[in-house]
Amino acid sequence: MNLKSILSPGLMAAMWIVASTVVQLGAQAVRAEDGPKFSRDVLPILSKHCFACHGPDASKREAELRLDVEEEAKRAREGSASIVPGDLAKSKAVDRIVSKDPDYMMPPPDFDRPLTAEQVETLKKWIAAGAPWGKHWSFEPLPTPQAAAALKIDDPQQIDHFVDASLKRAGLERSPKASAHTRLRRVWLDLVGLPPTPEQADAFAADDSPENYVRAVDELLAMPQFGEHWARVWLDLARYADTKGYEKDLGRSIWPYRDWVIKALNDDMPLDRFTEKQLAGDLLPEPTQDDLIATAFHRNTMSNDEGGTDDEEFRITAVKDRVDTTMQVWMGLTMGCAKCHSHKYDPITMEDYYRFYAVFNQTEDADRPNDAPTLTVLTEDRKSDREKLEEVREAAESALANAEQQSLSASDAASSWIFPKVTQSCADGGAKLELGPDGSLTATGPHPDRDVYQIELDVPAGRYAAVRIEAIPTRLPGARGVNAKRGVGRSAKDRNFVLSELNAFKLVEGQAPPAIAFGEAKSDFAQEGWPVAAAVDGKTETGWAVSPQADQRHAAVFAFAETLDVQQPTTLRFTMSQQYGGGLTMLKFRISFTAKSIDESELFSEAPAVAEARKQVQAAEEKLNAFDAATPAVPIMRELAGDKQRETRMHVRGNFLEPGDAVKPALLTAFHAQREGMPANRLGAARWLTDIDNPLTARVFANRVWARLFGIGIVETEEDFGALGSAPSDPELLDWLAVNYRDQGWSLKKLLRTIVLSETYQQSSRTSPTTKEKDPRNVLVGRGSRYRLPAEVVRDQALKVSGLLSMKQFGPPVMPPQPSGLWRSTYNGQKWIDAENEDRRRRSLYTYWKRTTPYPSLTTFDAGSREVCQIRRISTNTPLQALVTLNDPVFLEAAGGLARKMSMSPGTSIEHLQFGMRSVLVRPVSAAEVEPLEALRVAALADFAKRPEEAIAFCKSGRLEIREGESAVELAAWMTVSNAMLNLDEFLTRN
């Protein structure tokens, strides 16, 4: 566990001193030899103690004095300068830092960051030596490729030279090589995130030559699992998740981006191209589908579907997140504070921030519910699959239409219903009602939210007791794809309708038409809360509706209050008011009359063939829907056309509602210049980030890779390479690695290869009292690193050693078992359904990542929520982790799998246990070592023998099948032992 982070503030402050003494061990040894260096020794003091009031932020600047700019610090003001090179007596700053007068001394006492005597001494020595200026260490340029030729960048031994030198200064030395088994397990876990099999480790140990190790490393780098393991690291930075975040946290199909990352890493795509495609793939000439998918990197920002939110506000939040993430991931700088005010410590002004923001402020996306713009990713073979499904659906539909037509004619002929001629029809909202041969009317044309249909009928003489309205399901005219679904309403989104009010009038020439009153009503079906009687209750806020059966035929019968006695043919007018809104109006309907009373009248009859045909359609539709649901529409970046580009204004105090001055897009001024002719857009930014003149990107990436292998970065604050970040424990080593990465074609695989081939990497992790005392956190890497495995690896490893892991790659996210009832997002109908097929046992990076409820066992082991960019995970050690590996069904099933393997291995029970332990730990295991496990097995046997039914239950919890002739008690005992093995510290640890 990260020590300084868990102590109370007081303790923490004190501990911090201890820790930083260790970090600075190397530096101190140098300091005695050659005096203070600006970037290493002086600037950190100025940053922490002076810049808050005398730094880049003009609004907080005191006495108009800047100490972050050489000319200003040395400029004479009123006859004296703060810093006079070589002259302590004349330097006003010296006078003030040594003063004890609370009104005069610097820093002032209420700032609460006093200088130590040693710091004062450092500043004095530096001024005495001429106050040579420089840049913050991470902004200093790296050696040019020409100069770097002398650095032997492809030689792993160079790493050992640097490490040896700093160890020597601290009075330490490197540890011996770790055993062959340990080294092979280590490099497997680090490069592909899985352990080797014991057989692979034995074969390697049999020939532990450097050549054989190189061969093993090269094989690992070529494995398809390499990309999966390192994608996991990148996806934390990219804040990749399968949902949109915020209140509703609905799903989004952005997983092709995850697959793109895996493939790019497996292909060892150079960082400059990897950068360019993700930041600006859409701006490349003739972008491929993959280039566009890559731009989803910055579409991983959250979007808010909460009602009443301002889309512009959340669009802006997303753009700011892109700016911050870009700077964090590539430059290792925090931009967050420059949103509201100029950075107090690093040279980023508020204007710089908004100019850089303007670069990212020109894409089409705008926090829309459909995540537009998106790219439908359908491969050729899937395209033809879809066409086939579409054909099946078409055929089923026309069969249904035929069946319905036949049934309709038959039922019309057999029924007592008569169909008066429609003489006129219109709709107040503008829809056209088209008359069909069967007397039905179909609404076409304009589709308003609300509508009133008016229909006039010539009713022949007779006595009528009731009128019937039939709603006939059909496809929307011209609709395709999912919208082609049959339904009774006009809205493609919701095929329901709401008949708010039905009125009938008798048209009599020369007088206002008298209304005809209705009595009782009945229907074959009504939606809950929307009964048919509500269509004739005189209120328009109630009505008759049919969800969730909007795809079926329905009928409503309304009795006239008094029997309608038509002496001679008469015109009646019906008005169908549909006031619910949202376009829930009827698509196709018929009106008919009967002499029978409402109780005797039939609603409609349907031949059994119709129900059968409908089933066929539903089945075909379900298949098509499932197919479409699995077809991702990936959110992508798309630049606004030139005339649509946004004007960017600064946000006063970071508040977008208070626009300030307009700014033009530009890259950060305080750093290296952009190449001639490059545009100030995302593509220009991508090129600028990986420009050979940029010292930060190479350092930041090399440090990150080092940190993933050694558990701690050379710069511990991986997220902050600015003035307030921690200093590098070995600056020369870091620069060497940065140059190695840059000059070997930005190849991640080559960088990794160089590091893991060094002797430093291969050391034993054993500690001694001396090494623990002098370098408790192994900052100087005088021994191999030992740390708890990352969340995903903890789970994947358990599945692999128990023989359960599926190696299937790519595709939609999966849902392995998780406790029920976890997903409770507001207004969100999504459900977690435990996979029963191999998706239950896939590698963890394929697990569905819901931002508001991430997979619990992963977060328990320190994975984040992926709501925002996470540069590093702080490792913890908690009881909740023990509960996961002891009781989570995934780990129980792994125990079951391991028990099965063990029980089937040959030999004595001790040999079984040795076999099991070897499967788990990879290394050879002695008989003596498994004695405690044998004792546990015997105890478990005795325990389960007393309650055999419990043994069966326990096996079941691990999905351990009890086969013919097997004893549940014995299997349960094996599983108990397996459960213990999978919880061993050595197993959970990378050593």
Residues 839-898 that bind other proteins (CB under 8 A): 851-853, 856-857, 859-860, 862, 865, 867-868, 874, 876-884, 886-888, 892
> How far apart are CB 873 and other proteins at their closest, in Å?
9
3-state secondary structure at position 980? helix
Applying CB under 8 A, among 137, 188, 246, 453 the residue interacting with other proteins is: 246
Q: Rounded CA gap, 221 and 776, in Å?
A: 32
The structure tokens listed for 759 are 């002797």
> How far apart are CB 574 and other proteins at their closest, in Å?
28
Write the interaction track for other proteins spanning residues 163-202; mark x where CB under 8 A is met and - where it is not: ----------------------------------------
Those residues whose C-beta lies under 8 Å from the C-beta of residue 165, and which sit 6 or more positions away, are none
Applying CB under 8 A, among 406, 819, 837, 907 the residue interacting with other proteins is: 819
Q: Where does this chain touch other proteins (CB under 8 A) — which range of 138-146, 158-166, 239-247, 661-669? A: 239-247
Only one residue has tokens 């399901």, namely 473
Of the two residues 291 and 720, which places its CB atom closer to other proteins in the complex? 720
> How far apart are CB 820 and other proteins at their closest, in Å?
7
Q: Rounded CA gap, 453 and 473, in Å?
A: 18
Those residues whose C-beta lies under 8 Å from the C-beta of residue 570, and which sit 6 or more positions away, are 458, 459, 506, 507
**515 binds other proteins per the rule CB under 8 A:** no
Helix (H) or strand (E) holding 803: none
Of the two residues 310 and 622, which places its CB atom closer to other proteins in the complex? 310
> How far apart are CB 754 and other proteins at their closest, in Å?
27
Give the helix, strand, coil percentages of the chain, each rounded to 5: 45, 10, 45
- Where does residue 930 fall: left (phi above 0), alpha (psi -120 to 50 degrees), or beta otherwise? alpha
**119 binds other proteins per the rule CB under 8 A:** no
**1 binds other proteins per the rule CB under 8 A:** yes
- CA 205 vs CA 182, 494, 753, 923: distances in Å: 10, 66, 20, 10
**How many helices (H) and strands (E) are present in the chain, helices listed first?**
34, 21
Which of 493, 497, 456 minimizes the C-alpha distance to 473? 497
Only one residue has tokens 């539903």, namely 618
**989 binds other proteins per the rule CB under 8 A:** yes
Residues 17-56 that bind other proteins (CB under 8 A): 18-19
Of the two residues 454 and 876, which places its CB atom closer to other proteins in the complex? 876
The structure tokens listed for 651 are 């946000």
Of the two residues 684 and 782, which places its CB atom closer to other proteins in the complex? 782
Of the two residues 590 and 918, which places its CB atom closer to other proteins in the complex? 918
> How far apart are CB 953 and other proteins at their closest, in Å?
4
The structure tokens listed for 94 are 């010296």
> How far apart are CB 117 and other proteins at their closest, in Å?
14
Of the two residues 233 and 940, which places its CB atom closer to other proteins in the complex? 940
Q: What type of residue is 369?
A: P
Cβ neighbourhood burial of 489 (10 Å; 0-12, 13-18, 19+): buried
* Vertex 468: Cα angle to 467 and 474 (nearest 5): 150
> How far apart are CB 838 and other proteins at their closest, in Å?
23
Residues 2-21 that bind other proteins (CB under 8 A): 2-3, 5-11, 13-15, 18-19
Q: Where does this chain touch other proteins (CB under 8 A) — which range of 185-193, 632-640, 772-780, 808-816? A: 772-780
Q: Rounded CA gap, 167 and 22, in Å?
A: 12
φ and ψ of 624, to 5 deg: -65, -40
Residues 700-729 that bind other proteins (CB under 8 A): 717, 719-720, 722-725
Residues 327-366 that bind other proteins (CB under 8 A): 334, 336-337, 345
Which of 156, 167, 333, 220 minimizes the C-alpha distance to 737? 156
Q: What is the CA radius of gyration of the chain?
A: 37
* Vertex 599: Cα angle to 596 and 604 (nearest 5): 75
**935 binds other proteins per the rule CB under 8 A:** yes
> How far apart are CB 13 and other proteins at their closest, in Å?
6
Of the two residues 337 and 366, which places its CB atom closer to other proteins in the complex? 337
Of the two residues 306 and 458, which places its CB atom closer to other proteins in the complex? 306
Of the two residues 425 and 844, which places its CB atom closer to other proteins in the complex? 844
Q: Where does this chain touch other proteins (CB under 8 A) — which range of 145-153, 228-236, 897-905, 931-939? A: 931-939
Q: What type of residue is 300?
A: N
Of the two residues 328 and 758, which places its CB atom closer to other proteins in the complex? 328
Tell me, by CB under 8 A, how many residues bind other proteins. 111
Q: Where does this chain touch other proteins (CB under 8 A) — which range of 547-555, 663-671, 685-693, 975-983? A: 975-983
**548 binds other proteins per the rule CB under 8 A:** no
3-state secondary structure at position 331? helix
Helix extents (H) in 513-572:
none
3-state secondary structure at position 452? strand
Cβ neighbourhood burial of 80 (10 Å; 0-12, 13-18, 19+): exposed
The structure tokens listed for 885 are 């590996």
φ and ψ of 964, to 5 deg: -45, 130
The structure tokens listed for 259 are 């697959």
> How far apart are CB 559 and other proteins at their closest, in Å?
30
Of the two residues 478 and 821, which places its CB atom closer to other proteins in the complex? 821
**608 binds other proteins per the rule CB under 8 A:** no
**766 binds other proteins per the rule CB under 8 A:** yes
Of the two residues 345 and 453, which places its CB atom closer to other proteins in the complex? 345
The count of residues in the chain is 991
Q: Where does this chain touch other proteins (CB under 8 A) — which range of 423-431, 512-520, 530-538, 826-834? A: 826-834
Those residues whose C-beta lies under 8 Å from the C-beta of residue 95, and which sit 6 or more positions away, are none
**474 binds other proteins per the rule CB under 8 A:** no
> How far apart are CB 822 and other proteins at their closest, in Å?
8
Residues 642-681 that bind other proteins (CB under 8 A): 657
Residues 278-297 that bind other proteins (CB under 8 A): none
**137 binds other proteins per the rule CB under 8 A:** no
> How far apart are CB 731 and other proteins at their closest, in Å?
18
> How far apart are CB 2 and other proteins at their closest, in Å?
6
Of the two residues 337 and 835, which places its CB atom closer to other proteins in the complex? 337
Of the two residues 30 and 868, which places its CB atom closer to other proteins in the complex? 868
Are the beta carbons of 314 and 703 closer than 8 angstroms?
no
**540 binds other proteins per the rule CB under 8 A:** no
For the residues of 576-643, what is the DSSP string, one character each?
A: EEE-SSTT--BSEEEEEEESS-TTTS------HHHHHHHHHHHHHHHHHHHHHHTS-EEE---BPPGG
DSSP 418: B
Q: Where does this chain touch other proteins (CB under 8 A) — which range of 27-35, 64-72, 621-629, 938-946? A: 938-946
The structure tokens listed for 477 are 């005219």
Applying CB under 8 A, among 40, 168, 623, 777 the residue interacting with other proteins is: 777
Q: Where does this chain touch other proteins (CB under 8 A) — which range of 209-217, 230-238, 751-759, 947-955? A: 947-955
> How far apart are CB 335 and other proteins at their closest, in Å?
11
Residues 301-330 that bind other proteins (CB under 8 A): 304, 306-310, 317
The structure tokens listed for 802 are 């128990």
For the residues of 154-198, what is the DSSP string, one character each?
A: T-THHHHHHHHHHHHHTT--PPPBPPHHHHHHHHHHHHTSSPPPH
**980 binds other proteins per the rule CB under 8 A:** yes
